[in-house]
Chain A
Amino acid sequence: SQTIHQWPATLVQPVGSPLSLECTVEGTSNPNLYWYRQAAGRGLQLLFYSVGIGQISSEVPQNLSASRPQDRQFILSSKKLLLSDSGFYLCASGLAHEQFFGPGTRLTVL
C-alpha cells in the first residue's frame, strides 16, 4: 500500500515570505500526484496535479506553484505568501478513481 509523507505538519509564516511544502510517496511508482487545499469552512480544492516528472497542471490561478523534480516527490511553493493562502494543504497520490492522502500541512499566514 502507498504511504504519503508531508512536512512540515504545521507552519506559521509572515505575509510576503516564501513557502516550500514537500510531499514524498512510498510504495508505488509513477503515481499521479495532487495538491489540494482545504480552507476554513470550505471543501477540498484541487490546486495542481502531475502525471509525471516535470509535468504540472494547474487548476486554479494563484500565487502558488508546484514542481515534481523526482517521480515520487511533489513540491508546493510560493515566492510571496498572502493571508488568503492560509489553510490545510493535502498531498495525494493515485489515480482518478482512488486517491490516498497524506497527513496534511496546516499553514497559517500572519
Chain B
Amino acid sequence: DQQVKQNSPSLSVQEGRISILNCDYTNSMFDYFLWYKKYPAEGPTFLISISSIKDKNEDGRFTVFLNKSAKHLSLHIVPSQPGDSAVYFCAASADNNNDMRFGAGTRLTVKP
C-alpha cells in the first residue's frame, strides 16, 4: 500500500521562480517527514526534515510545510536554480517503526 504519495511525477519551473513539491500521506502514526534529493545514478541525499510538532521548517532556500489535519506536506524552493533539477522524494516515518516510507518521487526541472 502506498502510504506516502507524490501525485505529480514531474514539475518544470523557470529559474528564479518558486518550486512547490507536494506530498500526501495516509498513516496518522507518521510523526517525522523528510525530503530527499536524488541525481541520476546516485543515491538520495537528505535535504530537509520536519517533526510533527512543527508546521514549518526553513533551511536557506528550502522550506517544508506540514499540515497534519490534511496529512499533507510541501517543499518550497525559492528562488529555484538549474542545479536544483533532480528527483525529490518525500519520506515519512513513525517513532515506533524501524522503516521509512517513500513517495514515488517528483522530477523537478528548473529551466535557465
Contact = CB atoms under 8 A, between A and B. Distances in A.
Interface of A: 4, 32, 34, 36, 41-46, 49, 51, 57, 59, 88, 90, 92, 96-104, 106
Interface of B: 6, 9, 32, 34, 36, 41-46, 49, 89, 93-95, 97-105
Name the prevailing secondary structure of the B interface residues: loop
Contacts of B104: 42-43
B99 A49 contact: yes
A103 B105 contact: no
13 contacts: A34-B100, A36-B102, A43-B6, A43-B104, A44-B105, A45-B102, A46-B101, A96-B32, A101-B36, A101-B43, A101-B44, A101-B45, A106-B41
Name the prevailing secondary structure of the A interface residues: strand
Given A46-B102, A103-B43, 17 more contacts: A4-B43, A32-B98, A34-B100, A41-B9, A43-B89, A43-B103, A44-B89, A44-B105, A45-B102, A49-B99, A51-B98, A90-B43, A97-B93, A98-B34, A102-B43, A103-B41, A104-B42
